[in-house]
Amino acid sequence: MNRLFTFLLSILIFSSSFAQDQNYQGKFEPIDNLIPQPNVYRSASGAPGKAYWQQHADYKIKAKLDEKNNTISGDETITYYNNSPDDLSYLWIQLEQNVNKKENEDFGYAFGNVRDSMNTRHMQFLTRAIDFPAGYSIKYIKDSNGNAIKSLVNNTMMKVLLNEPLKSGESLIFSIGWSYHITDRSMYLLSREGYEYFPEDNNTVYLIAHWFPRLAVYNDTEGWQNKQFQKLGEFALEFGDYDVEITVPADHIVASTGDLKNETDVLSKVQQQRIAKARKSIDKPLMIVTPEEAKANEKEKTNKTKTWKYRAENVRDFAFASSRKFIWDAQAVPLETHTVMAMSFYPKEGLPVWSESSTLAVKNALEVFSEAVFEYPYPVAISVNTSNIGMEFPMISFNGGRPVNGKMSDNAKAGMIGTIVHEVGHNWFPMIVSSDERQWMWMDEGLNTFISQRTMEERYPNYPHTESKSIVPFMSGDKSIMRPIMTTSDNDLLSQFGANYYLKPTVGLQMLRNSIVGKELFDQAFKEYANRWKYKHPNPADLFRTLEDATAVDLDWFYRGWFFTTDNVDMELTNVKWFTVTNEENIENKNTITKANIKAENAGENTKDFGGGPETITMTTTPDQAYGQFLSRMNEPKIRKQLYGKNIYEITVKNIGGLIMPLSIEWQYTDGTSEIDVLPAEIWRLNEYEITKTFIKTKQVEKVVLDPNFEFADTDTKNNSFPKVEEASDFDKFKNKSKN
């Protein structure tokens, strides 16, 4: 016992001194100090706790689109359910349209200062030379008895001061009347909604989103999520049921969240017959409004109106598009328990690509996401064509990508299809698995991109898709301006926005699935997370804990490095030693010390290749004292016999980039064959900066390569090989090309 204690003590002392000497950062330490502690609302397993609660808000809205003045007005009645344990004396309402007021912050400045030869649109972004009457006009706020309710507006948030507190477990009915001028999307940077004007035929496509005053989230982790809308960070919203009436010009076609409830009032008999056929068409889309009909519709404008009525249940938002320019096609997509209608709405400018590709892309997304996450629950999934945007809402998305004179390059088409798949995928993240986009954008963008890229890989294998090497140019960038994934989107640089919230989380999840946890186990765990938090509000800690809980894999080291730091992967193969064992035993009697000659590379010196051959060292019989109190002995001659004729290779790897990862080692043999060994990340536990590992190989090695399949986003592959690579590898050529 004393000997064991002394041994453990020596390790402890060594580890302590090593930590001090090497500036130890605890890469394998738990992340408990970085995430909220579990409680009755959110369990240590990552599941909602027994006391979990969330608010609920139902809306009844009557809205009117005024095409002549480009305005929209509405009256809405909200029923708000206080399921929290708290009494509320006020509510916070989101007023996103106020973000476009001239005095508010805009991100035009982020794209540079005034300079010579500046285009006029860029100057408009910077100066807002043309003013616009943006923002809400609130006509009234009143309770169910018609009594006025006082409010205070702070930029994009409105504080509703209740006449009496809303107690825990009770509900409140109140109404708001409002209107605003719809923005011209071509005039505003990062415009997620508004109208697009087509001068050639003097018509407009309206994308109506963030259009009605909506309840902010009140939850157990933040209280009110009332961060101001600054365009980059998106939304945190409560679930509810919607009854919406939309009055538009009678010749408009409307695409909307929800189930159309008055089809016979707004569609012609021919259109009704066509959509009835489309509900049975599982092989291809059918036209509901043909290109010829849409073109004819553009030429005549009416002063009459129609009201489209929709019902949507258990959604966190509502959006719609309206235009007389719309061509409309639809197709049935049978899923396991119900059939979804995949639909596309697009102007003639989208032909022929949109009629060929949009609804098919919606169908592909529905099928792959339903298999990978959970079945799509809603009756419709819609893709609407517009310019310069990809934006998602429940059951409907606005997607850019448009041919020029009817033609589109392969890259542009791939981008268009990828956008549609991605935006449809947002129905799962965050429209159902409802994370806080304003706080943690990566939780919807990254998780959605992870599955949307699987969709592209499976259904569009000839198109490019995200993989580990995609993130290398970003991760080898300037660390002084780089921020971790766990940063709110409004505080990150625009130049890093896509990489930090889309690509890096996606690559991280791909690594976990493909190389760290394993596909079957990871897929089950990912589904567990999604199903646990379906129609609820998860935080990063809930995802992190669930993936560990459902895999029995300690992933804190991965979360800490990949999500909380800006470290990169750069493993250097610093040394390879080569040994062989020859059969040169001479045993004269039982007391003779048995020796075997082992040859190693030039007395351990690191040469440029294996040309020096193996070096001789001595392997001796183990002395009795080395066994301690064990009375049994290993069969040492048998062990040596197992080594005869084998090649022993000792490799040393340094962690240059700071981010620990598993080690994938390829052995290329002199006979032209190869094999790969994979060491888990835990090999770095005792020393996070350098490791040494010994391997026995039957064949003679010609070359050793780390991360041969670019699984772990190593930023410098020139130091991954022995013998050293003199010329840039194919991967480095890819990396340099991506930077340029």
Average pLDDT, the chain: 90
What pLDDT, on a 0 to 100 scale, did the predictor assign at position 600?
45
Q: Is the dihedral of CA 681, 683, 688, 691 positive or negative?
A: negative
- Tokens found for residue 702: 């010609």
Q: Give dist(CA 71, CA 614) in Å, integer.
A: 82
* Helix H or strand E segment including 528: helix 519-532
The string of DSSP codes covering 604-657 is G---SSSTT----EEEEPPPGGGGTT------HHHHHHHHBT-EEEEEEEEE-S
Contacts with 252 (C-beta within 8 Å, 6 or more apart), sequence order: 65, 306, 322, 323, 324, 326
Amino acid, res. 421: V
Q: Which residues contact 644 (CB under 8 A, 6 or more apart)?
A: 581, 582, 583
CA distance 171 to 174: 10
Cα separation, 449 vs 447, in Å, equals 5
Angle between helices 442-459 and 504-511 (to 10 degrees): 60
Distance of alpha carbon 600 from alpha carbon 614, whole angstroms:
4
Instruction: Specify the pLDDT at position 23.
Output: 46
Task: Tell me the three state secondary structure of residue 680.
Answer: coil
pLDDT, tens digit, 9 for 90 and up, residues 648-662: 999 999 999 999 999
Q: Which pLDDT belongs to residue 107?
A: 63
**What pLDDT, on the 0 to 100 scale, is given for residue 239?**
98
Angle at 65 between CA 59 and CA 69, to 5 degrees: 140
DSSP state of 593: P
Q: Which amino acid belongs to residue 236?
A: A
In the chain, what is the greatest distance between 2 CA atoms, to the nearest angstrom?
A: 113
Residue from 351, 396, 427 nearest 260 by CA: 396
Positions of CATH 1.10.390.10 in the chain: 31-54+435-566
Q: For the segment 80-93, what is each residue's pLDDT rounded down to a tens digit?
A: 999 999 999 999 99
Selection from 710, 657, 674, 239 nearest residue 431 by Cα: 239
Strands 88-94 and 617-620: unpaired
Q: Average pLDDT, stretch 33-54?
A: 97
Identify the three-state secondary structure at position 445.
helix
Tokens 């616009």 correspond to 132
> What integer pLDDT is reported at residue 596 of this predicted model?
55
Please, what is the angle between helix 540-549 and helix 519-532, to 10°? 140
Contacts of 451 (CB under 8 A, 6+ apart): 368, 369, 372, 373, 425, 428, 429
pLDDT higher than 80, residue 457: yes
Tell me the sheet residues that pair with 219: 223
What sign for the dihedral angle of Cα 565, 570, 571, 572?
negative
> For the residues 88-99, what does the mean pLDDT come to?
96
> Is the per-residue pLDDT at 58 higher than 60?
yes
Residue of 478 and 53 predicted with greater confidence: 53
> Tokens 């040393």 appear where?
652
- Reported confidence tier of residue 13, pLDDT bands at 50, 70, 90: very low
Q: Is 423 exposed, middle or buried (0-12, 13-18, 19+ CB in 10 A)?
A: buried
d(CA 45, CA 27): 22
| Strand pairing category for 171-181 and 136-143 | antiparallel
Tell me the pLDDT band of 631, cut-offs 50, 70 and 90: very high
- Residue 57 CA to residue 528 CA, distance in Å, equals 27
End-to-end CA distance of the chain: 63
Q: How do residues 318-346 score in pLDDT, each as one tens digit?
A: 999 999 999 999 999 999 999 999 999 99
Q: What is the pLDDT of residues 498-557, one digit of tens each?
A: 899 999 999 999 999 999 999 999 999 999 999 999 999 999 999 999 999 999 999 999
The tokens describing 440, both together, are 């943690």
Q: What is the pLDDT of residues 577-595, one digit of tens each?
A: 998 877 655 444 333 344 5
The CB density around residue 40, as the number of other CB atoms within 10 Å, is 10
Question: Rounded to 5 degrees, what angle do the CA atoms 139, 142, 148 make?
Answer: 90
Q: Tell me if 347 sits within 8 A of 236, measured CB to CB.
A: no
**Residue that wins the pLDDT comparison between 645 and 299:** 299
**What was the pLDDT predicted at 311?**
98
> pLDDT value at position 10?
46
pLDDT tens digit sequence for 128-172: 788 888 999 999 999 999 999 999 999 999 999 999 999 999 999
pLDDT tens string 187-238? 877 788 999 999 999 999 999 999 999 999 999 999 999 999 988 888 999 9
The pLDDT confidence band at residue 496, using thresholds 50, 70 and 90, is confident
Q: What is the pLDDT of residue 735?
A: 47
CA Rg, the chain, in Å? Answer: 32
- pLDDT at residue 598 in the model: 55
* Pairing between β-strand 305-315 and β-strand 240-249 as defined by DSSP bridges: antiparallel
Q: Distance between CA 279 and CA 565 in Å, rounded?
A: 50
pTM of the predicted model as reported, rounded to 2 decimal places: 0.91
Q: Could you identify the residue written with the tokens 């609660």? A: 53
Rounded to the nearest 10 degrees, how much is the dihedral formed by the CA atoms of 643, 644, 645, 647? 30
Q: Comparing C-alpha atoms, which of 54, 52, 74, 56 is closest to residue 65? A: 74
The b-or-e profile of 452-487 (16+ CB within 10 A means b, else e) is bbbbbeebbeeeebbbbbbbbbbbbbeeeebebbbb
Flag whether pLDDT at 599 surpasses 90: no
pLDDT value at position 601?
39
The larger pLDDT score, comparing residue 365 to residue 736, is at: 365
Note the pLDDT of residue 614: 81
User: Containing H/E element for 399?
Assistant: strand 396-399
Residues 6+ apart with CB under 8 A from 574: 606, 652, 653, 654, 690
pLDDT tens-digit readout, 420-434: 999 999 999 999 999
Does 314 have pLDDT greater than 80?
yes
3-class DSSP string for 244-293: EEEEEECCCEEEECCEECCHHHHCCHHHHHHHHHHCCCCCCCEEEECHHH
Find out whether 333 and 281 touch, Cβ atoms under 8 Å. no
pLDDT for 54: 98
Which residue has tokens 């005024």?
A: 66
Q: 């708001």: which residue's tokens?
A: 176
Domain 31-54+435-566 in CATH: superfamily? Neutral Protease Domain 2 (1.10.390.10)
Task: Read off the pLDDT band of 111 (50, 70, 90).
Answer: low
pLDDT over 70 (residue 21): no
Q: Give the CA count within 13 Å in the CB-facing half-sphere of 699.
A: 13
Digit-coded pLDDT (tens) for 603-628 = 334 456 787 788 777 778 899 999 99
